[in-house]
Amino acid sequence: MIHLDTHVVVWLFAGDLGHFPPPVLERLEAEDLEISPMVVLELEYLFEIGRISVGGEAVLRDLEPRIGLKLCQEPLQEIIFAALARRWTRDPIDRIIASQAEIAGVKLLTKDEALRDHEDHALWG
């Protein structure tokens, strides 16, 4: 099982596999894929500002059957308390996405260097 950061989901939805180096593509093929519900919310924000063409729920509904993408079901209260300690960022979405992967005990696949620099469970490859 691995969690996906928002940009990874955007690229998968668009079928834009050129963003992924071969080790990342191999991991995407080999792992069960989950996202935090915060990824769905961030996708909705991106839709609202015109950065993607459909909303978060539509992206999830498309990727569920196509790649087996699932929503993580970890309890929100536990995630929020874990997010409180992530003072390295002011971005509440990054705090929650990183916390959800940590609480679930899985890696977070992200190209975001700041996340990878601060989160031992975040990786790209």
Mean pLDDT by 10 residues, the chain (125 residues): 98 97 97 98 98 98 98 95 96 97 97 97 94
d(CA 114, CA 94): 10
- Which has the closest alpha carbon to 60: 94, 90, 34? 34
Structural domain boundaries enclosing 82: 2-123
Structure tokens, 34? 């989950």
Instruction: Give the CATH number of the domain where residue 92 resides.
Output: 3.40.50.1010
Q: Tell me how far CA of residue 120 lies from CA of 42, 102, 107, 108, 117, in angstroms.
A: 23, 9, 9, 9, 8
pLDDT at 125: 81
| Whole-structure pTM value | 0.96
How many domains does the chain divide into? 1
Indicate the SS3 state at residue 80.
Answer: helix
